């Protein structure tokens, strides 16, 4: 009977360990996927040529350029066709996503200022944190006088980055 109780104790301990112990396999690490991204670019309505609408996407440590060049609207997210650019071009803009004032704009209106109202252009920004939250987007005025300072600072930085990419 003593052996039976010992056997029963070992089985019970094994059963508990099986359901409560976790075993990590160092050969099979779980990779965290960063689903965050940012789409940014400028648009000009009364303009001709490829440079009138320049939309880019930063995602997974890479930079992509949109080939559609559609004029963004306040009706929904931009639908682009993106092709990957060089790693050197990504390095030029790698700090832009962190510079975007998302927390200040999280609950703001979609349109800030009067983007492209007087043919001075506008900027499209789409931001996704990668969590359960839906992506958000904004149309931003390019005129500093029409936007709060934190918006105009970002717009000016993004314009510089777009010029660098296109050189």
- Topology of the domain comprising 37-166: Mago nashi protein (3.30.1560)
pLDDT at 26: 47
pLDDT at 130: 85
Average pLDDT over every residue of 85-111: 95
Average pLDDT in the chain: 85
Give the predicted TM-score (pTM) of the model: 0.78
Question: What span, in angstroms and rounded, lies between the C-alpha atoms of 125 and 104?
Answer: 14
Taking only the tens place, the pLDDT of each residue in 27-54 is 544 455 568 999 999 999 888 878 899 9
Q: Which residue has the tokens 């105009």?
A: 152
Question: What span, in angstroms and rounded, lies between the C-alpha atoms of 124 and 106?
Answer: 15
Higher pLDDT, 29 or 55: 55
DSSP string, 82-115: EEE--HHHHHHHTTHHHHS-HHHHTTS-SEES-T
Give the Å distances, CA to CA, from 140 to 1, 99, 103, 116, 157: 81, 15, 16, 9, 13
DSSP-derived pairing of the beta strands 37-43 and 53-59: antiparallel
Q: Spell out where the chain has E strands.
A: 37-43, 53-59, 62-66, 82-84, 111-112, 122-128, 136-141
- Please name which of 52, 85, 82, 89 lies closest in space to residue 68, comparing C-alpha atoms: 82
Question: What span, in angstroms and rounded, lies between the C-alpha atoms of 40 and 38?
Answer: 6
Sign of CA dihedral 73, 75, 81, 86: positive
Average pLDDT over every residue of 142-167: 95
Ranges of each domain in the chain: 37-166
Q: Which helix (H) or strand (E) holds 149?
A: helix 149-166
């Amino acid at each position: 009977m003593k052996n039976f109780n010992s056997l029963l104790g070992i089985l019970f301990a094994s059963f508990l360990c099986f359901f409560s112990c976790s075993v990590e396999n160092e050969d099979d690490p779980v990779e965290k996927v960063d689903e965050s991204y940012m789409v940014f670019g400028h648009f000009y309505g009364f303009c001709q040529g490829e440079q009138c609408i320049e939309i880019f996407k930063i995602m997974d440590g890479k930079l992509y350029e949109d080939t559609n060049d559609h004029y963004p609207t306040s009706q929904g997210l931009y639908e682009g066709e993106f092709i990957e650019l060089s790693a050197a071009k990504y390095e030029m803009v790698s700090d832009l996503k962190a510079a975007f004032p998302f927390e200040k704009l999280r609950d703001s209106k979609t349109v800030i200022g009067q983007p492209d109202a007087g043919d001075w252009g506008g900027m499209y920004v789409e931001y996704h944190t990668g969590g359960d939250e839906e992506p958000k987007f904004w149309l931003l005025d390019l005129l500093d006088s029409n936007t709060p300072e934190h918006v105009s600072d970002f717009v000016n930085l993004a314009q510089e980055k777009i010029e660098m990419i296109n050189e």
